[in-house]
Amino acid sequence: MAFMRKSALPVLVLFLAYYYSTHDGFRPEMLQGKKVIVTGASKGIGREMAYHLANMGAHVVLTARSKEALHKVASRCLDLGAASAHYIAGTMEDMAFAEQFVAEAGKLMGGLDMLILNHITNSSMTLFHGDISAVRRNMEVNFFSYVVLSVAALPMLRESHGSIAVVSSVAGKIAQPLIAPYSASKFALDGFFSSIRSEHAVAKVNVSITLCVLGLIDTDTAMEATSGVFTGIPSRKEDCALEIIKGTALRQEEVYYDSSRWTSLLLGNPGRRIMEFFSLQKYNLDKFVRN
């Protein structure tokens, strides 16, 4: 009994330390006064992220194509307690807009702490019958503009030791029918941003990258697109939006958010982790590292 009592406390402390270090440690104050960009913020998960950030007292600059919708979201953000809320409307099919947008947002807030890349082009669920233009549009809007935005934001993020959230999908980790162009763009995000993350580690760039792997979420777009075709259980967009912000603020490498708890376990992919670790040992990176 004495043994039990003596060892129970340290065990409990260790358990709690482990529990809180891996599962939480997030406090809404972490976002207070932080300068955040949210793309695709006129509706869906992006709009919910803007509202959470406003509640936490962050500065936000929002973008999407629809000016009227953005105006409403920004006004509501101010009502909810945002430190400031601006929007700049434009299309992410235009890379010049993407670049200028980041510069303007940086000026409006006087810097940048968090870049949340979330927008996607519209696409329907259908068999691929050779619609090359759809592949190109998905790659441009869902992938290439993310690269442009992150390149434009990196100097400010380096300065602030900031964070990038890359919103992806289970379809960016596994193959599924009817969404080949979308899936390709989401896989591309993993390839590019996970590589950049490992370069940041080598080059001691303290800008975190959080890849967010989402299952079906109950946004209007997703509910309409999947209706009658896919019968997954949707999760709530409000909760999903909060988990993205939490994981990004905690500088996690990946966030999994799906109605099935198996998803993170199965897609966490220890095989990939182990291979990435051993592959890294074979490089001579000295000449790329700035001292």
Ligand X SMILES: *[C@@H]1O[C@H](CO)[C@@H](O)[C@H](O)[C@H]1NC(C)=O
Ligand Y SMILES: NC(=O)c1ccc[n+]([C@@H]2O[C@H](COP(=O)([O-])OP(=O)(O)OC[C@H]3O[C@@H](n4cnc5c(N)ncnc54)[C@H](OP(=O)(O)O)[C@@H]3O)[C@@H](O)[C@H]2O)c1
Binding site for ligand X (CB under 6 A): 122-124, 161, 206
Catalytic residues: 182
Q: How far is CA 102 from CA 38, 97, 99, 120, in A?
A: 11, 9, 6, 17
* Stretch in the footprint of ligand Y (CB under 6 A) among 11-19, 76-84, 190-198, 218-226: 218-226
76 binds ligand Y (CB under 6 A): no
Quote the tokens at residue 203: 């080059």
Helices (H), the chain: 2-23, 44-55, 67-80, 95-109, 132-138, 145-160, 180-203, 220-226, 237-249, 262-267, 270-281
Q: Which of 118, 138, 150, 263 binds ligand Y (CB under 6 A)?
A: 118
Name the DSSP class of 236. P
Residue pair 268/252 in contact (Cβ under 8 Å)? The answer is no
Q: Which is nearer to ligand X, 155 or 191 (CB)?
A: 155
216 binds ligand Y (CB under 6 A): yes
Contacted by 219, from ligand X, ligand Y, none: CB < 5 to 8 Å by type: ligand Y
Q: Which of 167, 209, 242, 250 binds ligand Y (CB under 6 A)?
A: 167
Q: Which is nearer to ligand X, 142 or 235 (CB)?
A: 142
Contacted by 161, from ligand X, ligand Y, none: CB < 5 to 8 Å by type: ligand X
Q: Which of 208, 219, 252, 263 binds ligand Y (CB under 6 A)?
A: 219
Please give the order of strands across the beta sheet that includes 114-117.
84-89, 59-64, 35-39, 114-117, 163-169, 208-214, 254-257
Q: Least Å distance between CB 198 and ligand Y? A: 23
3-state SS assignment for residue 172: helix
80 binds ligand Y (CB under 6 A): no
Question: Rounded CA gap, 158 and 167, in Å?
Answer: 21
93 binds ligand Y (CB under 6 A): yes
Q: Which residues bind ligand Y (CB under 6 A)?
A: 40-46, 64-66, 69, 91-93, 118-121, 141, 167, 169, 214, 216-217, 219, 221-222
